[in-house]
Amino acid sequence: MDENRQNPLFTPQHHEQPPFYPAPARKPKRLAVLVSAAAVAAALVGGAGGAALVGLADDAPASTGTSALGTATGQTVANSGSDVSSVAQQVLPSVVQVNVTTREGEAIGSGVILSSDGKILTNAHVVEGASGDVTITLSDGTKYQASVLGADSKADIAVLQAKNASGLTAAKLGDSSQVRVGSEVVAIGSPGGLQNTVTSGIVSAVGRNLSDLGQQEQQQSPFGRTSTQQQQGPSYTAIQTDASINHGNSGGPLVNANGEVIGINTAIYSPSSGGSIGIGFAIPINDAVKIVEQLEQG
């Protein structure tokens, strides 16, 4: 699935990648389009204020033996206010790593446990193109096979169901309409396949309309083709955070100081390096829940 996108803020050069990277890590030597062109301009259904994923992903190595799949002891980056370690201890059991096999290779993302019997919330682009079941790994290393119950690529939300699961720790969901700029937040996921990684920061902005960044200059597609076709920027509104988010965090939670999930990490803005520069975006959890309900209804 090709997606050609333009951005007036940058003058692309040969092999330059678009500045948005909303993707799980994948095997080297391959680039993958992670959203459709329709997703770039789509809005969430049900008065959610508009949501669409914003871009493409640079490849990164899949999980290796250093991925810390044992106990929930991830990297904790302290901030000056709330006790990040206590928040991490509370939330880590509700976060999973998602491993996906596609025809193109392997993909890694994150997910949030919604129910004790194994309903999992993640990004649609994490499981896009999955060949059969996906594998989810709990924070303690326990693995389950899971099926994709439904996915909405426009909203970038998917629901998984772990098979034969019971007794899982469901995440506590917050109210994203109450999120305020400057509030401390924690991001948890599997960047680069490093499961149980915890980072912290603040809410940098709310209701961030990513179409404000614009797309007009020629950009190279991930398959070596270019296009000068102008496309509308996404009507996606997101929570912006400076908590470090990288490839593999997609689908994982952004939580507040009370350990409540207020967003689903989905994209980073990185005009040059492809890594985090302190600008990340999360789908507000209120919007995500609406999409989950629609997917469950068929």
Residues annotated as part of the active site: 125, 156, 250
| Secondary structure (3-state) at 60 | strand
Residues 253 and 112: beta-carbon distance below 8 Å: yes
C-alpha 288/C-alpha 122 separation (Å) is 9
H or E segment and range at residue 86: helix 84-91
Alpha-carbon span 107 to 199, nearest angstrom = 22
Amino acid at 127: V
How distant, in Å, are the alpha carbons of 59, 64, 109, 132, 227 from that of 275? 11, 19, 15, 30, 25
Token pair belonging to 193? 């396949």
Residue 34 and residue 70 in contact, taking contact as beta carbons nearer than 8 Å: no
C-alpha torsion sign, points 22, 27, 31, 33:
negative
Rounded Cα–Cα distance for residues 129 and 295 (Å) = 18
